[in-house]
Amino acid sequence: MGNLQLVLAISLFTPLITGLAVLLFNNRKNMRDICGPIGGIITFGSAIAIAMAIIDGQTISINLWQIVPGIGLSFNVTALGALFGIVASGLWILASIYSVGYMRGSKAKNQTRFNFYYAVAIHAAMAISYSGNLLMLFIFYEVLTFSTYPLVTHGQTKDAKDAGRLYMGILVATSLLLFLPALLWVWIISGTLDFTKGGIIPFDFSPSLLPFLLAMFAFGIGKAALMPIHRWLPAAMVAPTPVSALLHAVAVVKAGVFSFLTIVVYIFGIDFLLESGAAVWLVWLTAFTILTSSIIAITKDDLKARLAYSTISQLSYILLGAALATQAAIEGAALHIIMHATAKITLFFCAGAIYVNAHIKKISELDGLGPKMPLVFIAFFVASLSIIGIPPLGGSWSKFMLMVGSVDAGIPIMLLVLGISSLLNIYYLLEPCTRAFFKPSLKEIHVDNHILTIFPPVITAILSLLLFFAVDWVRLLTTLMVIP
Amino acid sequence: MLILNNIPALLVAIPLLASAVVSVLPSARIAWGVAFVTTLCCLYMAFELTEIVSASLTLSYAFGGWEPPWGIAFVVDGANVHLVLLVAFISVIATVYALTTLKHEIAVEDLPKAYAVWLLTIASLFGLSMTGDAFNLFVFLEISALSSITLIALGAGQDRRALLAAYNYLIIGAIGATFYVIGVGYLYAATGTLNLLDIIERLNEIGTNQAAVTGLAFMLAGIMVKAGVFPVHIWLPAAYSFAPSAVSSLLSAIATKVAIYYLARLLFGIFIDTTHLIDLFLLFVLMPVSVIAIFYGTIAAIYQIDIKRLFALSSIAQIGYITFAFSINTHSGISAGFIHLINHALIKGALFMAVGIFAIGIGQRATMNSLRGVGRQMPITFTGFVIAGLALIGVPLTAGFISKLYLFKAIFETGNGIYVAVIAVSSALSVLYLWKIFEVMWLQEPLQPLKIEKEPVLACVSLWLLVFTIIIFGIYSAGVSSYGMNAANALIGVR
C-alpha cells in the first residue's frame, strides 16, 4: 500500500473511527465532544494532501476486487471528488465545534447518539467523494440517507417523525426507482461504471433515449432537490440546526449535486452531453426551480425554512451548470459547491446561534437584535453577500463562471434568470439583517452567550471572503475536470 | 472410491437410513447429534460432487447397475449440482438452528421423531434435485410432501392453526401430485419411457405429439403447485407461518427451490419446441402470472401484521421474480433465475431464522405489536435480520443486489423497458414493509416491559453463517453467477 493510498484510507475511515470513539466515551462528555474536532482536523488534513497529489497529476486509488465484471469495490479520487472531500471535511471541523455549543446550549438529549450518526454521515460523504465508480457512490449515497434519518428525527416528536418519514420516503424511493435502474442501465450498455474523464457511455447510444437516462439520474438523485422532488429538504429542517447546517446545507445536498455533476462529467462526458443536446430540458427545469424556490423563500417567515428554500434554489445553480455542460459552466458548478457550502453553512450557523442564544426562530421577531449579537449578524450579512454574488466574496466567482457558461452554451437568457435570482436573493437574505440592525426592538429579549455557537459562523464568513482571493487554487482542481 | 463413485445414491440413502435410526432413539440430544452428523456428511459429499461434475460436466448415475433407460438414473449437471450443494448447506445450518429452537416449539418426547421426519425431508429434497426419472420424481415428491406436512403440523404445539395449514397443504399438494402423475402417464403413453433424457430423444424421433403436449401441461401444473407459483401458491403462506421456525427456514429456503429447478428443467430441457407451445406458455401465462405474483406478494406483505406470514407472502413475490426471469426465455434470463434461486434461498432462510429467534425471545408469536423495541434487546439477531432484509430489497453489497443486477440485465437485453419498472417499483414497495418492521423493532417502545430471554447462541451462529454467505455472495459474485451461466448452458445450450 503506497503512502497516498494510506492517506486515502485515513480520510475515509477517520470519521468512522471518530464515531466509534464517541460511543466509547459515552459517559465522559468532554472526551466525547472533543472527538469530532480532532477527527475533523485529521480528515481535513488528509483531504488536503489528496487534493495536492491530484493537482500534481498523481492518481490515488484503492482497488479491491470485482463484485461483478466491470464493477469493482474501488475508491479512485477524481478532481471533483478531491474538491468535495475538502469541503465536507473542512466544514466538519467547524460544525462539530458548533454542534457541541448548540447541543449543550439547547440541553438536547441523546447527544452521544447524535454525535455518532453525525460522524457516520461524514464518513458516507467522504466515501461518496472518493468513490471509484457509480455503484460505490450509490452505496454510500444510501448510507448517507440512512445515517441522517436518526438525526432528522432526533427530537422524537410527532413532527420530527413525520418529517423523517417524508425524508426517507422521497430519498429512498427516488434512488431505488430511478437512480439504481439508471445505474444498471449504464452498466449494461457500457460494461463498466468506473468514473472516466470523457464519459463511458458509448457514442452509438440512442440519442432519443439519452435525455431519458439523464432524467432518471436528475430525478433519481433526490438529494439534489430538483423540483418537484424538493419537499424533503424543508421538511428535514425539524432537525437540530447543526444537522441542517452541515448536512442539509453541505454534506447531504452537496452529495446530491456532487453525484449529478460527477455523472455528467465522468459518466456522460461533457462534450458528448453538449453535442447531443440531451440536457436542454434540464436547463429550463433548473431555471424554473431557481426562480420558484426563491419566490417561495420570500414568503417564509421561519428563518430555517427560508434558508431551506434558498438552498433548493442554489442547488439548482449547480445543476444548471451541469446541464449547460460547457467548460465554464461545469467549472462554475464545481466552484459553486464550495462557495455556496461555505456561505450557507454560515447562514445556518447564525440561525442556530440566534435560536440557542435568543430563542427566536421567526424573521419578524428579529427586530433590534443586531446590536446584541453583532458578530452573528455581521457574519450573516457577509455570507448573504456571498450567496447574492457580490465581490469580493467567493460566491461572485461561481456565479460569474455560470454566466459565462450559459453564454457559451448559446442560452444567454439564463443571464436574465441568474440576474433575477440575485435580486430575489437580495430581498430575502438581507431582510433579517436590516430588521436586526435598523428596526427598534419591540420587547426586551434576553440573550445568552454560548461562545461555541458564535465563533464558527464568524470563521466561515471569513472563509467566504478568503475564497474570493484563493479561487485560483480551487481552480487548479476544477480545470482538471474539464480540460481533456 | 466406493463413496466417491456412489455419491448421488448416498446423498439420498444416508439421510434415509439415518432417519430410520433416529426415529427409535430415546434421547432428543442423541437424535439431533445423528441428524447433524448426517447432514455434515451430506455437505461433504455435495462438495465432492461439485468437483466431480465440474470435471466431467454431466454425471449420470445408474441405480443397481441397471443402465437407463431401463433402470432409474440420477443426473447431475450444471443445472443442479449447486442446487444439491445448496440443499446440503441449508440442511446443515438449519439443523444447527433446530437444536436450540425446536425444543421451545415441540414437546420434548416428540423431538426424536421430529428429527426423523426432518431427515426424511432432506433425503427427499436431495432425491428431487438429482433424479432423472419422471416417475421417480413423483415418488420423492410424495415423500417430501408427506414429511414436510408432518413437520408443519408439529407447529400445532404453538398454534393449533398449524393443523389446518398442514391439512390444506396435504389436499392441495395431493392435487398437484395427481396432476403431475397424470402428466407422467400421458408422456409414458406417448414415448414408452420414463427417463427424462430418453424422453427427449424419443420426442425428437416422433416429433410433436398431442399426448406428449398434454402430459407436459399436466406435469407443469403439478410442479407449479409445489413450487408455490401464483395463483396455486395458496397452501404456502399458512404452511410457512405456522410451522416451527426451524421448519419454516428449511422449507422456505430449499423445498420450493427444488420444485422451481424442476420446473425450469421441464420448461427448457424436455421439448424440442416445434410448435412454440413453451414460448407461448412463457409469454402469455408465466410472465403475466409472475408479474401479478410479484405485486400481490409484495402488497399483501405490506398490510400483514404477523411477521412470519409477511415473509411467507414475500416469498410468493420472490418466487415470482424467479419465474419471471425464466419467462424472459433467454440465456441470461434463465441464468438470472437460477442466481436468484440460490440467493433467495439464503436470504429467506436467514429471515425466518431471525424471526424464530425473536419469537423465542419474547415467548410469543412475532407480530408488529409484540416485536416493539425488541431490536434493541436482541442486537445480534437484529443486525443479522437487517442485513438479510436489505438483501431482500436488493441493496448493493448483498446477494440480493446481484440477483437484481442480472435480472435487470436480462430484461434490458430484451429491450422491453416496461419490466424494468415492474422490478424497480416492486423492490421499492418491499422497502415499505421492511422499513416498517425495522422501525417497530428499533424505534418504538414496547407496549409492556419486555422479558427477553438471552439470544440462543447456536441459533445466532446459524443465522450469521447465512448472513455472512449473503454478504460474501454480494461482494464476490463470480461463483453464483457462473452457476447461473452453467445452469442455462446445461438447459438450453452454450451461448
Closest residue in A to B414 (Cα) is: A188
Closest residue in A to B420 (Cα) is: A181
Q: What pLDDT does A484 receive? A: 64
Return contacts of B360-363, CB within 8 angstroms, 24+ apart: B360/B101, B360/B104, B360/B245, B360/B453, B360/B456, B360/B459, B361/B452, B361/B453, B361/B455, B362/B450, B362/B452, B363/B451, B363/B453
Residue A336 maps to a domain? yes
Instruction: State which residues of chain B have pLDDT below 50.
Output: none
Residue A272 maps to a domain? no
Residue B229 maps to a domain? no
Q: How far is B428 from chain A (nearest CA, A)?
A: 6
**Together in a domain, A212 and A256:** yes
pLDDT digits (tens, 9 = 90+) for B72-98: 888 888 888 889 999 999 999 999 998
**Together in a domain, A224 and A292:** no
Task: Tell me the whole-structure pTM to 2 decimals.
Answer: 0.87
Q: What pLDDT does B275 receive? A: 60
**Residue A1: is its pLDDT beyond 60?**
no
- Yes or no: say if B163 and B296 are a contact pair by the CB < 8 Å rule: no
CB contact under 8 A, A65 and B395: no
Q: What pLDDT does B329 receive? A: 84
pLDDT digits (tens, 9 = 90+) for A165-208: 888 888 888 888 889 888 888 888 888 888 888 888 888 777 78
Residue A207 maps to a domain? yes
pLDDT band at A78 (very low <50, low <70, confident <90, very high): confident
Mutate to test the interface with A, among B398, B407, B443 (most CBs of A within 10 A): B443
Between A145-149, A245-249, B40-44, B341-345, the lowest mean confidence (pLDDT) is in A245-249
Q: Does A68 touch chain B (CB under 8 A)?
A: yes
Nearest CB to A68 within list B412, B427, B477: B477
Residue B95 maps to a domain? no
**Together in a domain, A284 and A256:** no
CA distance B340 to B333: 11
**Together in a domain, A329 and A441:** yes
CA A182 to chain centroid, in Å, comes to 23
How confident is the model over A345-361, as a mean pLDDT?
85
- Yes or no: say if B95 and B39 are a contact pair by the CB < 8 Å rule: yes
Q: What pLDDT does B409 receive? A: 87
- Residue that has been written with the C-alpha cell 429452537 in this structure: B101
**Residue A355: is its pLDDT beyond 60?**
yes
Number of domains into which chain A is organized: 2
Domain boundary among A260, A290, A314: A260
In B118-215, DSSP assigns E strands to: none
Q: What pLDDT does B494 receive? A: 65
**Together in a domain, A442 and A474:** yes
Return contacts of A36-39, CB within 8 angstroms, 24+ apart: A36/A92, A36/A96, A36/A97, A36/A99, A36/A100, A36/A115, A36/A118, A36/A119, A37/A93, A37/A96, A37/A97, A39/A14, A39/A15, A39/A92, A39/A96, A39/A119
pLDDT digits (tens, 9 = 90+) for A255-294: 999 999 999 888 888 888 888 888 888 888 999 999 999 9
Q: What pLDDT does B271 receive? A: 67
**Residue A371: is its pLDDT beyond 80?**
no
**Together in a domain, A80 and A175:** yes
Q: Does A280 touch chain B (CB under 8 A)?
A: no
Nearest CB to A176 within list B409, B431, B478: B431
Q: What pLDDT does B292 receive? A: 92
Mutate to test the interface with A, among B302, B392, B405 (most CBs of A within 10 A): B405
Instruction: State what percent of residues in chain B have pLDDT above 70.
Output: 98
Residue A266 maps to a domain? no
Residue B488 maps to a domain? yes
> Whole domain around residue A161: which residue ranges?
1-189+198-260
Nearest CB to A172 within list B424, B431, B474: B431
Closest residue in B to A74 (Cα) is: B475
Domain boundary among A214, A231, A260: A260
Nearest CB to A181 within list B424, B443, B481: B424
**Residue A317: is its pLDDT beyond 60?**
yes
Residue B290 maps to a domain? yes
Radius of gyration of chain A (CA): 21
Residue A142 maps to a domain? yes
> Whole domain around residue B296: which residue ranges?
276-495
ipTM above 0.90, yes or no: no
Nearest CB to B396 within list A138, A173, A189: A138
Q: How far is A173 from chain B (nearest CA, A)?
A: 6
Q: What pLDDT does A177 receive? A: 86
Residue B451 maps to a domain? yes
Residue A92 maps to a domain? yes
- Yes or no: say if A8 and A47 are a contact pair by the CB < 8 Å rule: no
Q: Does A188 touch chain B (CB under 8 A)?
A: yes
pLDDT digits (tens, 9 = 90+) for B127-171: 999 988 888 899 999 999 999 999 998 888 788 888 999 999 999
How confident is the model over A387-410, as a mean pLDDT?
86
**Together in a domain, A226 and A309:** no
Kindly report the length of chain B: 495
Q: Which residues pair with B75 in a beta bridge?
A: B60
Number of domains into which chain B is organized: 1
- Yes or no: say if B222 and B178 are a contact pair by the CB < 8 Å rule: yes
CB contact under 8 A, B412 and A184: yes
**Together in a domain, A302 and A429:** yes
